[in-house]
Structure 1
Amino acid sequence: MEPLSADRDLIMPTLPGAPTMARISALWQECRSGLRDLCGLVSRASLLALVAAVVVCVYMEEILLALRLVGAPAIGHHTGTTLSLTLIAGAWAGRRMMQPERRRSRRPSASDLATACEILARQPNASAGLVRLGDKQLLFSAARDAFIMYAVQGKSQVALFDPVGPQEAWPELVRAFADDARRHGRRAVFYQVSPAFLPMAVDCDLRPYKLGEQAVVDLTRFSMKGGEWLKLRRSINRAERDGLEFSLLTPQEVLPLLGELRQISDAWLAAHNAAEKGFSLGTFQNGYLAESPVALVRFQGRIVAFANLLTASSTGDAFIDLMRHIPGTHRGLMDFLFVRLMETLKDQGFRTLNLGMAPLAGLPTHQGAPLWNHVCRQVFENGERFYNFQGVLAFKSKFDPAWEPRYLAVGGLGLPVASMLDVTLLIAGGLKGVLHR
């Protein structure tokens, strides 16, 4: 018997001396071949349509920004107008994707950075100390008593956090920032702003989108006593029995250890196939690390983990920035580092410890919630390949923090997909950094 072809789903029998059946069989095979070709065309067309739809969706915000800049009228409900604008938008978005990445960065002058550091000492949020990285531009209020730190990526002018300085200076400063962005043909973007910022966002025609929630531990109430802390206490006790030791160094004590800390940082980055980030995250710079306290964990006399702290002495707020460790040292290493750090800061009179944001956490997805929330919820639940969203939330929740919402505020219409893409590129230092997680 002739072996059956592997690509056949259905075999029509061919009987000897039955030409009618043979013709039917041949006709069947021709139909199947035609259907395969048609399905192939439909599949390719569907794929192209899907790609085009994604491109237009991602860059719709930039398209609308461009239309606003050239003074285009509001889009009506006429089919011809909508179709024409869609075709123009698709062509423009495709051209935008083919353009090389544009990133404009200008470091602040030494005098401007010194002024910003003076303002830092009089404001409550330790995380604003990221201005010391020197990788962001500065816009000061007219009285030079407040500032916005920002960077430019693509068509986005991205401010980091709330304005830094007295709140009465914020409205004027936010308006100046938004006007400056529009004057240069960019969209104004504020990344990780607090609820206190939202009235100014509305006044400047910026739309807020919830990004996640920031974890802040009240150190005045922090205690490891009680049954709810039993599991964490056991982890800490086991770590100490196994030989882990904690210490908090002053900036003066950090300088001689920078070489050893660099080795730990490099090992951590290599193990995670990661590159140094920036903008809203600290980077390993000798001068930057030597300006702040650093928490250390030693194992058998050797440093195996460290975290640097930004502090606001005026309010007793502290912020954990870089966290690096030698992978595989001890299962309870990070629990031990965080708990001992909280206890030490509490003893030194600090009142709060900012653990940073849990991205995409706490976004309501009820029937009336914005589309943005539903999209982000899907990313939170299914995006573990790109970021450990649920793991970060679970780890920070161990320390019973208060959760404070944080927002993205964006000028323009449509979902802020292009703005978030620009923010991601800023933090990662470009597309290469994104691919390195």
Structure 2
Amino acid sequence: MIESLTAADIASDIALDAIQRYPDADNPSSFLAVNEGNSYLRLPDTPGVIVYRPTGRYLVQFGGPFAPKEARPRLLRAFADLAAEQDREIVSIQLQGADAPEYLDAGFTVNQIGGSYALRLDTFSLRGTAFVRLRNKIARAVRSGMTISEVPLDRWHPAIRELDAGWLGTKGGANPLEFLVGQMGGRYQHLRRLFVGVHGDELTGYISYSPVYGSRPGWMHDLSRRRPECPPGVMEAINKTAIETFQAEGVPWLHFGYTPFSGLSTDHELPGHSRAFQWFMHDLWANGGHIYPAQTQYAYKEKWQQDVVLPEYIAFQHGASIPALVAVFRACNAV
């Protein structure tokens, strides 16, 4: 069967090749580069891509340039030229520490905006007193009659859509998030993995895992949902099954992804950072649950006792600003 490719398909295929070929920045969320709806900057004589979304007067970039180190400054200069041509500003989100030098050299203001978390699977075990509460929650979910398995998306996609719609309904009709969260379906679904928990024929919850490249290869705990009325421990039980599967396969790392406003530390801030924005991030961590449930999301990740916390950054082309941060939220369909 001959596959008919659109220009968007070809661009995203090039982006997939770039995140697999040039993973030096060690961005555990790099698979988000192939989300539908992304735009890409490429140069004919330079390897790699820049991933972004136009949002109002901003170009919101995801990660740094996915390119070999020597090509990153040229791509960033071309991206700045593109923004100038469109009379827009660049704001870059989920930069890694390895991305920062090019942005600092280009005059960007770079601040920590959160952290991402990773679990080393070859040494992980739920044995011991530290995991008593987690084991009890998992046991309770299993005793409820839930069965857990890895499945292809086709079998459960309609039920997942129904579950997602119900979950959004409990959030007051909130919009589904985009850009900085994974997707289901599409041309790259075969590269993801899906684990579900069911009671009888009814879907209770699911977790989708995306591939991670770089020095900590493995899978990232990405999209996840559960029915509001389901017993405690459902998500933990599904994740435990996935972990055991990955461990049997010799997978080195499980990543839990990026949580805004978490893992903040003065030790992670870079030269020239905005002290006002730094204060604002700490305030959002303490008091910004109505904007984003960072502490709730972090609490789920913390219970697995992560081995590595990676600082993640935001870069402002023309100085830290709230409008630029709002543009990131707009790109994510959060406002």
**TM-score bracket for this pair, using the shorter chain length:** 0.7 to 0.9
Q: 1:245 aligns with which of 110, 127, 147?
A: 147
Whole-angstrom distance in 1 between the partners of 2:114 and 2:17: 30
Which residue of 324, 344, 359 corresponds with 2:260?
359
1:292/1:363 CA distance change after superposition, 3 Å: closer
| 1:280-334 deviation digits (Å, cap 9, x = unpaired) | 1234556565652211111234321112221147763212222122112111112
Trace 1:168-187 onto structure 2 (pairs within 5 A): 168-187=70-89
- Per-residue CA shift, 1:323-372, capped at 9, x if unaligned? 12211211111221222222222222221222112211233479x98121
Residue 224 of structure 1: aligned partner:
126
Q: What's 2:19 paired with?
A: 120
Query: Which of 401, 406, 422 is matched with 2:312 structurally?
Result: 406
Equivalent-residue separation in structure 2 for 1:254 and 1:284 (angstroms): 8
The count of aligned residue pairs is 319
Structure 2 counterparts to residues 352-391 of structure 1, below 5 A:
352-364=253-265, 370-391=275-296
Q: Do the aligned partners of 1:317 and 1:352 also contact (CA within 8 Å) in 2? A: yes
Q: Work out which of the two has the higher radius of gyration on C-alpha atoms and give 1 or 2.
A: 1
Counterpart residue identity of residue 418, structure 1: P
Residues in 2 aligned to 1:287 and 1:199: alpha-carbon distance in whole angstroms? 34
Displacement of 1:114: 2.2
- Larger displacement relative to structure 2 (199-208 or 388-397): 388-397
Letter in 2 for 1:390: Q
Aligned-pair Cα RMSD in Å: 2.5
Amino acid at match of 1:410: F
Aligned equivalents of 2:124, 2:21: Cα separation in 1: 26
Deviations 1:113-156 (A, max 9, x none): 22222333334455222233221111124445311110111221
More helix by share: 1
Partner of residue 63, structure 2 = 161
Find 1:328's aligned residue among 221, 229, 239: 229
Larger RCO, structures 1/2 (Cα 8 Å, 6+ apart): 2
Counterparts of 1:6-405 in structure 2, within 5 Å, are 109-124=8-23, 125=27, 127-143=29-45, 145-249=47-151, 253-273=152-172, 274-285=174-185, 289=189, 292-312=192-212, 316-364=217-265, 370-401=275-306, 402-405=308-311
Unaligned runs of 5+ in 2: 1-5, 268-272
SS at match of 1:224: coil
How far apart, CA to CA, are the structure 2 residues paired with 1:144 and 1:294?
Answer: 35
**Contact 2:197–2:205 (Cα < 8 Å) also in 1:** yes
**2:286 match: secondary structure:** helix
TM-score, normalising length: structure 2: 0.86
Identity among equivalent positions (%) equals 24
Q: Distance in 2 between matches of 1:321 and 1:275?
A: 18
Q: 1:38-63 CA distances to partner (integer Å, 9 max, x unpaired)?
A: xxxxxxxxxxxxxxxxxxxxxxxxxx
Aligned AA (2:228): P
More strand by share: 2
TM-score, normalisation: structure 1: 0.67
Please, which moves more after superposition, 117-126 or 418-427? 117-126
